[in-house]
C-alpha cells in the first residue's frame, strides 16, 4: 500500500495538539479551494465532517509523508510535492493554499507538536511495517508470561550469560550501523556451513549488547575469521584452548570508544566486550559451534566468551594493521587464534637487550618449552616496557628480529626425550638450530596502562600455519 498523492493539499494533524485544534476551523476553507486530504494521527473525530479526512491509525500515511511535526501542510502538483510547512505560520499557509485571507483572526505564528511517527520505538516499527528493510529471520513468539531472557537461555542461544532479546526493532536499529544489505551473505559459517547474512550478524550483535556503530568492526572481524587462511572450522572443533581473538587498529577504535589502555585485555569496556562476544555468539547460534557438541575443547579459555581489544597507537611504533599492509589512517581488524594470557613481569630491566632476553625466555613456554614451530604468539607490550625499547631507538621490527635470534635453540635440547621429557620435536632436528616460531608467527602489539613494567603473551592455536590457522587482517568498511 502506498500513500495516495492526488493533486491538491494534504494536512497531517492530531487532536491533542493545540495548534492543530487552532487550525481545524480553517480546513473547510481549504477544502473549498480544491482537493484536500487530512490525515489525523490520534482520533477519527478530528475534522470528521470533511470527506477527505482519514484516521491514520496505523500511521502509514504520516510515515510515508515523512512527517516530523503537526500540523503539516503539503501541496501536491502532478503527483509531486512542491511545497511544505509545519506548525502555524500565517504567511506560509496563505502562500501554499493560495488563500490571501486565510486565518485572518489567528495569530501570525504558533509552533506545532512532534509527529507520533517519531515517538520512541514507533519510527522503527513503522519502518519494519512499511519500509524497504524486511527482516527475513523467523520470529519466535514468547508469551507475555514468559521471561524473555530465560527464553533465550532455554532455546540455547546464550553463552552462559544473559543475552539481550533480539526484538525486530532492536535488530533494525543494529542494522542502521552498516550500509550493507541485510540479506547480503557475508560467508558460509562453520561448522554447520550455514549462510551467514548481515541480518544474522545484527541479531547476534543485539544479543551480545553491541551498539549499532560497532557493526563495521564486527563485520570485518567475521570476514577475517571466515578467510580460509584462518581455518575457523578447525579452530572451533579442536580439543585445544584457542578461539578467535580480535585486535583493532585505526580511527574507528577511538570513534567507538574501544579500550587500548588500562585493563585492555580485561573487562569493563562495552565495545571490547560485546564485539568479541558477538563473534562468539555467531559461531554458536549461526554456525552451530556449541561446547560439548562440535566444540570439543578439553579446557577452553575465558576468551571463548569474548576476546577483543584495540592497539594503542600513540607512539613511534608502527601499528599492527600497517605492518600487515593496511594503509595508514585506515581502520582494520586482525583475528588471531588466541589462548589465554601469560604475564611477563620484569621490573628490573632498563635496557632493551636485557628486556628482550627476558621476553624471549618467557616466550619459550608457548605450548611447551620443548615444542617449536607449532603455535604462533602475540606479544602485548605495555607502555612502560615499550618505552624502554622506544627510547633506545628500537622499532617493533627490530624487537621482533632480536627475539627471533634469541629464540633459536639447539635441536638436541628440544627433541623428544631430551631432558627426561617425552614431549619434543622430531629427532631429525637434533643437529640444527631451531626457531621457536615459524616465519611471521610472532606478532607484537602495544596495549595496556602505565601502571607497571608488565607485558603479556597470548599463545596461538598449536596448529598454526598452512594446515591450521594463520592471523588474518581485514580493513573495516561501512
C-alpha cell recorded at residue 129: 511495517
What pLDDT, on the 0 to 100 scale, is given for residue 1?
45
- In the chain, CATH 3.40.30.10 sits at 8-130
Cα separations (Å) of 109 from 28, 92, 98?
A: 20, 10, 18
CATH number of 8-130: 3.40.30.10
| Contact indicator for 85, 67 with CB cutoff of 8 Å | no
Cell 585493563 belongs to residue: 263
| Contact indicator for 190, 449 with CB cutoff of 8 Å | no
Rounded-to-integer distance, Cα 42 and Cα 35, Å:
22
Phi, psi (degrees; rounded to nearest 5) at 310: -105, 150
Rounded-to-integer distance, Cα 336 and Cα 469, Å:
8
| Contact indicator for 399, 315 with CB cutoff of 8 Å | no
CB-based burial, 205-222: b 16+ in 10 Å, e otherwise: bbbbbbbbbbbbbbbbbb
Rounded-to-integer distance, Cα 171 and Cα 125, Å:
11
Strand partners, 444: 379
Cell 616465519 belongs to residue: 439
Strand partners, 249: 332
387 CB contacts (<8 Å, ≥6 apart)?
Answer: none
* Among 180, 33, 7, residue whose Cα is nearest residue 100: 33
Phi, psi (degrees; rounded to nearest 5) at 60: -65, -45
Low-confidence residues of the chain: pLDDT under 70: 1-4, 465-467
Examine residue 71 and say whether the peptide bond preceding it is cis (omega within 30 degrees of 0): yes
Query: What is this structure's pTM?
Result: 0.88
What pLDDT, on the 0 to 100 scale, is given for residue 143?
78
| Contact indicator for 335, 222 with CB cutoff of 8 Å | no
Q: How many CA atoms lie within 13 A of 389 on its CB side?
A: 26
Which regions of 240-303 does DSSP assign to beta strands (E)? Answer: 243-249
Q: How many CB atoms lie within 10 A of CB 261?
A: 18
Length of the chain: 478
Amino acid at each position: 500500500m502506498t500513500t495516495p498523492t492526488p493533486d491538491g493539499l494534504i494536512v497531517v494533524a492530531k487532536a491533542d495538539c493545540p495548534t492543530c485544534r487552532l487550525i481545524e476551523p480553517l480546513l473547510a476553507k481549504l477544502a473549498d479551494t480544491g482537493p484536500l486530504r487530512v490525515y489525523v494521527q490520534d482520533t477519527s473525530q478530528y475534522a470528521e465532517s470533511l470527506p477527505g479526512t482519514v484516521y491514520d491509525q496505523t500511521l502509514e500515511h504520516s510515515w510515508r509523508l515523512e512527517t516530523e511535526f503537526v500540523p503539516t501542510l503539503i501541496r501536491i502538483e502532478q503527483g509531486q510535492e512542491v511545497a511544505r510547512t509545519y506548525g502555524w505560520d500565517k504567511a506560509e499557509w496563505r502562500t501554499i493554499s493560495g488563500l490571501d485571507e486565510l486565518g485572518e483572526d489567528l495569530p501570525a505564528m504558533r509552533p506545532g507538536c512532534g509527529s507520533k511517527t517519531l515517538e520512541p520505538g514507533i519510527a522503527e516499527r513503522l519502518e519494519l511495517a512499511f519500509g524497504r528493510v524486511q527482516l527475513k529471520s523467523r520470529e519466535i513468539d514468547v508469551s507475555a508470561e514468559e521471561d524473555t531472557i530465560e527464553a533465550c537461555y532455554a532455546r540455547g542461544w546464550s553463552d552462559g550469560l544473559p543475552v539481550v532479546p533480539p526484538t525486530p526493532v532492536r535488530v533494525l536499529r543494529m542494522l542502521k550501523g552498516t550500509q550493507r544489505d541485510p540479506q547480503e551473505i557475508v560467508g558460509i559459517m562453520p561448522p554447520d556451513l550455514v549462510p551467514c547474512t548481515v541480518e544474522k550478524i545484527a541479531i547476534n550483535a543485539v544479543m551480545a549488547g553491541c551498539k549499532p556503530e560497532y557493526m563495521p568492526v564486527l563485520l570485518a572481524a567475521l570476514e577475517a575469521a571466515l578467510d580460509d587462511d584462518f581455518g575457523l572450522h578447525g579452530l572451533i572443533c579442536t580439543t585445544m584452548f584457542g578461539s578467535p581473538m580480535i585486535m583493532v587498529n585505526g580511527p574507528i577504535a577511538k570513534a567507538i570508544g574501544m579500550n587500548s589502555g588500562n585493563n585492555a585485555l580485561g573487562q569493563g569496556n562495552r565495545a571490547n566486550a560485546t564485539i568479541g562476544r558477538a563473534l562468539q555468539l555467531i559461531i554458536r547460534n549461526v554456525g552451530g559451534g556449541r561446547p560439548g557438541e562440535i566444540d570439543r575443547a578439553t579446557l577452553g579459555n575465558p576468551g571463548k566468551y569474548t576476546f577483543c581489544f584495540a592497539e594503542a597507537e600513540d607512539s613511534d611504533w608502527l601499528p599492527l594493521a600497517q605492518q600487515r599492509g593496511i594503509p595508514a589512517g585506515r581502520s582494520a581488524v586482525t583475528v588471531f587464534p588466541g589462548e589465554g594470557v601469560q604475564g611477563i613481569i620484569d621490573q628490573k630491566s632498563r635496557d632493551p637487550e636485557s628486556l628482550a632476553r627476558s621476553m624471549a625466555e618467557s616466550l619459550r613456554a608457548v605450548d611447551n618449552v620443548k615444542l617449536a614451530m607449532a603455535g604462533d604468539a602475540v606479544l602485548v607490550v605495555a607502555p612502560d616496557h615499550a618505552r624502554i625499547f622506544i627510547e633506545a631507538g628500537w622499532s617493533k621490527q627490530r624487537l621482533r628480529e632480536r627475539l627471533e635470534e634469541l629464540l633459536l635453540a639447539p635441536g638436541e635440547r628440544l627433541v623428544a626425550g631430551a631432558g627426561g621429557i617425552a614431549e619434543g620435536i622430531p629427532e631429525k632436528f637434533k643437529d640444527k638450530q631451531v626457531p621457536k616460531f615459524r616465519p611471521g608467527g610472532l606478532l607484537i602489539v602495544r596495549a595496556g596502562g602505565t601502571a607497571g613494567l608488565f607485558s603479556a603473551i597470548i599463545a596461538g592455536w598449536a596448529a598454526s600455519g598452512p594446515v591450521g590457522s594463520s592471523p588474518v587482517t581485514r580493513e573495516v568498511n561501512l
